[in-house]
Copies of this chain bind each other. A is one copy, B any other.
Amino acid sequence: MANYGFGLDLGGTTCKCGLFTTAGELVEKWEVPTDTSNGGANILKNLAKAVLTKMEEKGITADDVSGVGIGIPGPVSEDGVVNRCVNLGWGVFNVEKEFSECLGGMKVKVGNDANVAALGEAWMGAAKDFSSSVMVTLGTGVGGGVIINDKIITGATGAAGEIGHIRVNYTEEKACGCGNKGCLEQYCSATGIARLAKIRLEKNDDSTPLRNAEQLDAKAVFDEAKKGDKVAVEIAEQAMEYLAQGLQVISAVVNPEAFVIGGGVSKAGQYLIDLAQESFKKITFHGCANTKITLATLGNDAGMYGSMRMIL
């Protein structure tokens, strides 16, 4: 049996690369710049080179590598076909097959980056004690991943875990990036929370330090809310009520053991979790009301861990 594997987390700027033992220890991590020129044609070649060079450097033979997992920023089918990655310049092709060829036939598994991060948290992070969990990543947008029986639910068209596009407001007039209206992403992403803050400040003249904030963003909102500013608390509560509504419907569909909250916004920490949990309990079907809501623990490494997990 092989002792090593690679977990890669490919983004539009760099690819985070991890060399792991099959027991799940991260031996070494490094980054490779993403070359998006020429429709991203060099990306997989560069990554294959990086992997093969690392193996040579460490004296690891192909026989001792169980495979290479890679998370990519776009929808992927169960059999490894990507359906466009705007950030990379990619169209539609079988990443699994092509990357494996670049790697001299090594086993490759491909997943969507948000799904793969969820798998990482489920394997070695916040949800490692649970066989089912749903991760919600509150970043510039809102992403997610659904893990059932320790496996990613990919969905018929790779769109499972598109948590950010659960509709949580049926009266919204502004369109989401996806074209619909009232998506979770419009309220719980970093940009969504900044928008809620702007709307709240425009509502009336209530005094709040947020009016003097250098940047009216999610961080400012949570920082001031923790200090007890009433207006900031209102905005933070509103955002977490929307999040709870998203978690409520997820519970009614797959009823996971735990929710893992990650992404930049989650740096607000336990305060954010407490607000979400309180709101969730109020609106959730009794059988699910005690579902654990917890902070992600692997940070930016989650994708590498999840990619490694895919090949095991």
Contacts and interface: CB of A to CB of B under 8 A. Distances in A.
Contact of A170 (B169, B257, B288): B169
Interface residues of A, number: 46
A238 to B, nearest CB: 12
Contacts of A249: 166-167, 249, 253
A285 interface: yes
Most buried by B among A148, A163, A253, A254: A253
A294 interface: no
Nearest to A161: B253
Nearest to A291: B156
Given A157-B288, A288-B157, A288-B159, A166 B253 contact: yes
B286 A178 contact: yes
A155 interface: yes
B252 A162 contact: yes
A235 to B, nearest CB: 18
B286 A160 contact: no
Contacts of A130: 156
A59 interface: no
Contacts of A248: 166-167
B255 A163 contact: no
B252 A254 contact: no
Copies in the complex: 2
Given A148-B148, A153-B148, A255 B166 contact: no
A158 to B, nearest CB: 7
A13 to B, nearest CB: 25
B158 A255 contact: yes
Interface in A278-292: 283-288, 291
A180 B288 CA distance: 13
B167 A245 contact: yes
17 contacts: A75-B287, A132-B156, A155-B288, A156-B256, A156-B291, A157-B287, A158-B255, A159-B251, A160-B253, A161-B253, A162-B251, A162-B287, A162-B288, A167-B252, A168-B170, A171-B171, A180-B285
Given A159-B251, A162-B285, A166-B253, 20 more contacts: A146-B254, A148-B153, A154-B255, A155-B288, A156-B256, A156-B257, A159-B252, A159-B255, A159-B285, A159-B287, A159-B288, A162-B252, A165-B252, A166-B249, A167-B248, A167-B283, A178-B285, A180-B283, A249-B253, A253-B254
